[in-house]
Amino acid sequence: MDLTFSKNALQAFAQWFGRSGSVTNTVTPEVRRPPYPCVKIDPLPCCSPEAQGIESEYILKYYARLCREPLIKMQTVIIARNGHIISRGHFYPYSTDIWHVSHSLCKSLTGLAVGLLFDDGLISLDDKLTDIMKEGLPPSARINHRNTTVRHLLTMQTGVIFNEIGVVTEEDWVRAYLESGVKFRPGTAFDYNSMNTYMLCAIIKKLSGKGAFELLKERIFEPLGIKYIYWEKCPKGIEKGGFGLYYYPDDILKIGQLYLNGGVWEGQRLISEKWIKESTKVQIKTPDETGIYGYGYQVWCKEDRTTFIFNGMFGQNLIVFPKTNIMIATTASIDETFQNSPLYTVTERFFGTPYRPHAHLHENPEALEKLREKEASLVMENSDIYNFDGVFDVDFIKSLQGTYSVAAEDGYGLSVMPELFQGVHNCFAKGLKEFGITVGEDGGVITTLEGVTPHTVNFGLGKAAPGCVVYGKESVLTSAYATQTEENGKPALKITVCFPELPNIRYLTVCKTEEGISVKWEEAPGFDFMMRIINRTFLGKMPMPDGKTRATDTDFVQKRMRYFLQPTVIMKKIQKEQL
């Protein structure tokens, strides 16, 4: 089953991209993650930066540099050295106290689980995939995957065609992977694909009798005191491996410290030093478009071994500098697929080679106080809240209030939840039918009717208001605020809906029209990221609403993506007697 020829995949994405109807879901609905546990966890010990040889002013400069970057939207940053947290930065309106989706950051945890099997002698990196998965092996797999090894899976050298997009339309991911063809002979090139990591999880369960999460829980998480972590599973009950994990940034720092300790935690060896060294060593050079890092065993790393990274798309990271024992955990919302972002260049500039902390520093209470105040009030300069003067036209805002109908052909795909969230979670909107807005003295409420399901989002006027949306039976935290701006020379109310557990942001720009309102729907990450995915995934072809494909034309694809990700919908006010 190659994605290129998958009728279900093309149909689903034609519906999604074309807004030609509600997406037909061809797989069993997944078990969604539990709600945010709302608990206090046990972090690494804390101290001042000076106690670890770093000036508080230096970290302030780092934050200031991040805040000025126009292409990144930071959420949180935690900085640690020598096993001590020295700074935690909260970028408005986010907090380090909330768990967060990892995206591909959890690939490194899958690699760690493989390391446990390696240490136990249950697996060799030269073991062949077809030998391990020999029961029920499709005949084509004996040809296409006969030379694929565990090492190829770890280093993204399988060349398999079945990729992340295929999980939207396939129930049995192992079968789909094994039935898929390959682009090149395994071991001859680097081709990043989350399904390689998923197959590692399938192998872990096959060889150990335990899922990757259970194995890590017993041997890594519990010794490290990591209690609140959740990993989504595929329809067949195997951890997704390359994505789908929710974690506290503080906890990923503990795993980073385990690596810096060479696999030892509080005097107990949890993983061999050999595996740590080999997994964080460049095993294969990567294409220029992926950034400056090579690839180890599910870990990005530099050739000179001065940096290694557990990396998830959109800026979910654990960045480690082994020579100085510095770690930086980040959550963010960035239009990037790999490490092509100023986040990495700025962080390398401040903490990479040739930076060296001081051997000894005196405490600086005044500088530390400034740092602690700033940590709690960081604001990205590219955000709407930073550039807003705080003034609202009350009469204009009141004129927007009401409930509005949405034409069926305009409502397909639209939701409070961003499009990329829908795609990643295989939980597509059922069509926006109604949109409502009410405003009070300090804030307001957005209401939507999507299919037969109502949703409500609270927002503050010039300040964030907390809330929660239940979407696809999954509770998702929100933090939303409104600012007044202009759209095409007319006054507009722009509502920014942040999701503290996610990298996604939804923007709704509301303007007055003669019969009702217009609403422009945008999101971040959005257009730039999606253009890269389309070009990469569909190999020069674009899915059309009729299910056919069309050769990629840059102008056409960009126009289609703007229609998909940045539509402006005219809505007609529903009179009271109609309600």
> Residue 385 is which amino acid?
I
Helices 56-68 and 365-375, packing angle to 10 deg: 30
Q: What is the largest CA-CA distance in the chain?
A: 75
175/184 Cα distance (integer angstroms): 20
Query: Between β-strands 453-461 and 474-487, what pairing exists: parallel, antiparallel or unpaired?
Result: parallel
Check residue 435 and give its pLDDT.
97
Residue 241 CB contacts under 8 Å (≥ 6 apart), including other chains: 106, 107, 110, 194, 197, 198, 199, 200, 201, 212
Give the pLDDT of residue 482.
Answer: 97
As a whole number of angstroms, the distance between CA 353 and CA 264 comes to 26
Contact between residue 322 and residue 301 where contact means Cβ atoms under 8 Å apart = no
The residues near 503 (Cβ < 8 Å, ≥ 6 apart) are 75, 101, 103, 313, 314, 315, 316, 331, 332, 333, 334, 525
* Exposure string for 237-260, b = 16+ CB within 10 A, e = fewer: ebbbbbbbbbbbbbbbbbbbbbbb
DSSP designation for 106: G
Q: Name the CA radius of gyration of the chain, rounded.
A: 24
Q: In whole angstroms, what is the distance from residue 567 CA to residue 342 CA?
A: 28
Beta strands in 184-231 (DSSP E): 230-231
Q: Which two tokens stand for residue 47?
A: 């101290």
Q: Which amino acid is at 34?
A: P
Closest CA to 491 of 566, 401, 397: 397
pTM of this prediction?
A: 0.94
Q: What is the mean pLDDT of the chain?
A: 92
Burial class (CB in 10 A: 0-12, 13-18, 19+), 147: middle
Helix-then-strand count for the chain, H and E:
19, 24
Token code pair at residue 226: 């990591």
* pLDDT < 50 regions, the chain: 1, 3-5, 539, 551, 579
Q: What is the rounded CA–CA span in Å between residue 167 and residue 9?
A: 9
- 3-state SS of 226-280? CCCCEECECCCCCECCCCCEEECHHHHHHHHHHHHCCCEECCEECCCHHHHHHHC
Q: Where in the chain is the domain with CATH 3.40.710.10?
A: 50-351
Q: Residue for token digits 């480690």? A: 320
Instruction: With CA atoms as reference, report the closest residue to 50 among 373, 358, 257.
Output: 358
> What are 355-383's pLDDT values in tens digits?
999 999 999 999 999 999 999 999 999 99
Q: C-alpha angle 510/511/517, rounded to 5°?
A: 90
Spatial separation of the C-alpha atoms in residues 253 and 377, rounded to whole Å: 23
**pLDDT, tens digit (0-9, with 9 covering 90-100), for 123-154:** 999 999 999 999 989 999 999 999 999 999 99
Residues 88, 76 contacting (CB under 8 angstroms): yes
Fold (topology level) of 50-351: Beta-lactamase (3.40.710)
CA distance 90 to 76: 5
CA distance between the termini of the chain: 49
The model's pLDDT over 22-67, given as tens digits with 9 standing for 90+, comes to: 777 767 767 778 899 989 899 999 999 999 999 999 999 999 999 9
